[in-house]
Amino acid sequence: MPKKYETPLLDELEKGPFPSFVTEIKKAAAKSDMAADELGQLEKSYRDKRGYWKHGGIVGVRGYGSGVIGRYSSLPDEFPNVANFHTVRINSIAGFFYTSKFLKEACDIWDKYGSGLTNLHGSTGDLVLLGTNTENLEPIFAEFSSRGWDLGGSGSAMRTPSCCVGPARCEWSNIDTLDITYSITQEWQDEMHRPAFPYKFKFKTAGCAVDCIASIARADCSIIGTWKGNIAVDQTEVANYAKNGMNIQEEIVNMCPSKCMSYDGKELKINDADCVRCMHCIAKMTKALKPTGEKGATILIGSKAPFVIGATLSWVIVPFMKMEPPYDEFKDLIRKMWEFWDEHGKNRERIGELIIRKGMREFLEYIGVEPQAQQVKEPRRDPFFFWTEADLQK
């Protein structure tokens, strides 16, 4: 029987309507010595208002440099079963689809070799197995990989790519987000499992500008589906929305950022040449409005959380790229970016930070992308700019 800790503070977090993580830890703690000590240590953190985990060390499975994050308790004598309590990242399925068969197998393996605690999912999108001892790592890897599952990324490597639900269950997707995610994951297994980059590199793929995967804020490379063509309007469905109480003038026309719509009470008109494809009208009137024409993606680079230079959103690099299997044009572009980063990046420098340090021009020239007005909000405002010898000859 695992040790039973008194947890008066954490017990307070079992009250209230929202499902409780404390209840989850307690369920695992009834069966697992590791989960029991996790619970005990967490209660102590709540009492002392501080964490008791140490930095990760180098730990992993044979042949891989990523997929496992070392975690050690700073109170190993008090909580010996979490003295080492590592995270294992399992590469999730594109779109986060699962079958009960897999989930049950995963639970059996994890109860046998780990704490029984998981995150579905971690922030990057891995299926996270939360806490196990060093000696269990190889067995866990053997059990999962023999069933066709692999580890995700960690450290200075390509991280597990993730995507929105896309064409699997959404009418707005302009690209096959699941297939792109699967394809780049398979293409770059070595880059995921053997860290060789200056720092982490994340991909997120969104089917449209609604961006349900937060790609523009959370991925070094954001792939956002878009189109070149008109929005087809079904006026009968427009009339139905009006009949059902939608104030089309107020809720749709007035909220259009490019002021490209008009409505006379009968007909909704769109000046497609002025549309910036923000998705508001389509999202609110999904039965009436459909993008038509060529589908593809905008490729943006550089978003990340605040360290070191402050948070960034991704910048438009390629305004439009066709995204069709095997995605060679996209993959070649990424390889060039990685080459640039490999050549110039400092240790722990994200690609976005490098672009700021070296200048966007140097980056664009290296990867072979022409300057385009879609890449900027506005041209530079100060009169300081570079001319190369080649520019002077033009």
Partner 1 sequence: MSLPERRTDIGPPHYKDFLPPVIQKNYGDWKYHEILSPGVMVHVANSGDKIWSVRVASPRLLSTDTIRDMAAIAEKYCGGYIRFTTRNNVEFLVSDEKNLEPLQKELKDKKYMMGGIGNRISNIVHTQGWVHCHSAATDASGLVKVLMDEFADYFTTKETPNKVRMAVACCVNMCGAVHCSDIAVVAVHRKVPTIDHEKVKNMCEVPSTIAACPTGAISPEPSKKSVKINADKCMYCGNCFTVCPPIEIHDPEFDGVAIVVGGKVGNLRSNPKFSKLAIPFIKNDPPRWPEVTAAVKKILDAYIADAKKHERVGEWIERIGWEKFFKVTGLPFTFQHIDDFLIARETFRTSATFKW
Binding residues among 296-315 for partner 1 as defined by CB under 8 A: 305-311, 313
Report the distance separating Cα 229 and Cα 277, nearest Å: 10
Q: How far is the CB of 226 from partner 1 (least distance, A)?
A: 10
Whether 45 contacts 73, CB under 8 Å: no
For residues 180 to 219, the per-residue mask of contacts with partner 1, x marking binding by CB under 8 A and - elsewhere, is --x--xx--xx--x---------------xxxxxxxxxx-
Note whether 54 binds partner 1 by CB under 8 A.
Answer: yes
Note whether 170 binds partner 1 by CB under 8 A.
Answer: yes
Closer CB to partner 1, 3 or 348, in the complex: 348
User: Pairing mode, if any, of strands 86-90 and 68-69?
Assistant: antiparallel
Closer CB to partner 1, 168 or 335, in the complex: 168
The angle subtended at Cα 345 by Cα 202 and Cα 381, nearest 5°, is: 90
Site size for partner 1 (CB under 8 A) = 127
Within residues 244-273, the interface with partner 1 by CB under 8 A covers 250-251, 255-257
For residues 5 to 34, the per-residue mask of contacts with partner 1, x marking binding by CB under 8 A and - elsewhere, is ----xx-xx-xxxxxxxx-xx-xx------
For residues 337 to 376, the per-residue mask of contacts with partner 1, x marking binding by CB under 8 A and - elsewhere, is ---------xxx----------------------------
Interface pick for partner 1 out of 65, 116, 195, 225 (rule CB under 8 A): 116
Q: How far is the CB of 344 from partner 1 (least distance, A)?
A: 15
302: left (phi over 0), alpha (psi -120 to 50) or beta: left
Beta bridge partners of 130: 87
Contacts of 366 (CB under 8 A, 6+ apart): 336, 339, 340
On the question of a cis peptide bond just before residue 128, with omega within 30 degrees of 0, the verdict is no
Give just the sign of the alpha carbon dihedral 110, 116, 121, 126.
negative
Q: Residue 135: enclosing H or E segment and its boundaries? A: none
For residues 61 to 100, the per-residue mask of contacts with partner 1, x marking binding by CB under 8 A and - elsewhere, is x-xx------x-------------x-x---xxxxxxxxxx
Q: Residue 104: enclosing H or E segment and its boundaries? A: helix 100-113
Distance (Å) of CA 217 to CA 266, 288, 356: 39, 30, 17
For residue 172, the one-letter residue type is: W
Interface pick for partner 1 out of 33, 46, 230, 335 (rule CB under 8 A): 46
Closer CB to partner 1, 221 or 367, in the complex: 221
Within residues 315-334, the interface with partner 1 by CB under 8 A covers none
| Nearest Cα residue to 166 out of 224, 221, 110 | 224
Closer CB to partner 1, 284 or 358, in the complex: 284
Note whether 119 binds partner 1 by CB under 8 A.
Answer: yes
Note whether 171 binds partner 1 by CB under 8 A.
Answer: yes
Note whether 228 binds partner 1 by CB under 8 A.
Answer: no
- Taking CB under 8 A as the binding criterion, the range among 278-286, 317-325, 358-366, 386-394 that sits at the site for partner 1 is 278-286
288 CA to centre of own chain: 31
3-class state of residue 367 by DSSP: helix
